Chain A
Amino acid sequence: MTGIVSYLVFFSILASIYSLMSLGLNLQWGYTGLFNIGVVGFFAVGAYTFAILASPPAAGHIGGFNWPFLAALIAAMIATGIVALIVGIPTLRLREDYLAIATIGIGATIQLIANNMNWLTGGPNGIYNIPQPLSAYFSSNLGYNVFFLVMIVVILLLAYWSLERIVHSPWGRVLMAIREDETAASSVGKSGFSYRLQSFVIGSILMGLAGALYASFIKYISPTLFMPVLTFQVWAMLIVGGSGNNRGAILGSVLVWALWTMSGSVVQAILPSTLQVKGGAFQIILIGLVLMLVLLFRPRGIMGSRKAVVFAGESKTVSGE
Chain B
Amino acid sequence: MSQNDIVLRVDNVEAGYTPGVPILRGANIEVRSGEIVTVLGPNGAGKSTLIKAIAGLVPIFGGKVSLLDKDITGRPPHTLVREGLAYVPQVNNVFHRLTVEENLEMGAFTRKSGIARRLEETYALFPDLARLRKHPAGKLSGGQRQMVAFGRALMVEPRLLMLDEPSAGLSPKLVGMVFDNVKQVRDTGVTILMVEQNAKAGLLISDRGYVLAEGKEQLEDRADALLKNPEVGELYLGSKGGLL
Q: Is B77 an interface residue (CB 8 A)?
A: yes
> A286-321, CB under 8 A of B: which get 1 and which 0?
000000000000000000000000000000000111
- Interface residue tally for chain B (C-beta within 8 Å): 5
The answer for the CA separation of A319 and B58 in the assembled complex, in Å, is 9
The number of chain A residues with a CB under 8 A from chain B is 3
Of residues 179 through 211 on chain B, the ones whose CB sits less than 8 Å from some CB of chain A are: none
With an 8 A cutoff between CB atoms, is B132 at the interface? no
B76 within 8 A of A: yes
* Shortest Cβ distance from B91 into A: residue: A315
B56 close to A (CB within 8 Å): yes
In angstroms, Cα B57 to Cα A28, docked, is 34
A141–B217 Cα distance when bound, in Å, is 80
User: A320 — nearest CB in chain B belongs to which residue?
Assistant: B76
- Closest partner residue, chain A, to B74 (CB atom): A320
B residues near A321, Cβ cutoff 8 Å: 76
In the complex, what's the smallest C-beta–C-beta distance from A189 to chain B, in angstroms? 24
Q: Chain B, 47-61, contact with A by CB distance < 8 Å: what is the 0/1 string?
A: 000000000110000
In angstroms, Cα B76 to Cα A321, docked, is 6
User: How far, in angstroms, from A321 to B59 measured CA to CA in the complex?
Assistant: 12
Interface residues of B in 61-96 (CB under 8 A from A): 76-78
Give the distance in Å from the alpha carbon of A320 to the alpha carbon of B57 in the complex. 8
Contacts of B56 in A (CB 8 A): 320
Q: Which residue of B lies closest to A316 (CB)?
A: B92
A320→B55 CA distance, assembly (Å): 11
Q: What residues of A have a CB within 8 angstroms of the CB of B76 in the complex?
A: 320-321
The docked-state distance in angstroms from the alpha carbon of A321 to that of B57 is: 11
A243 to chain B minimum Cβ distance, whole angstroms, is 23
CA distance A320 to B75 in the complex (A): 8
Binding site for A on B (CB under 8 A): 56-57, 76-78
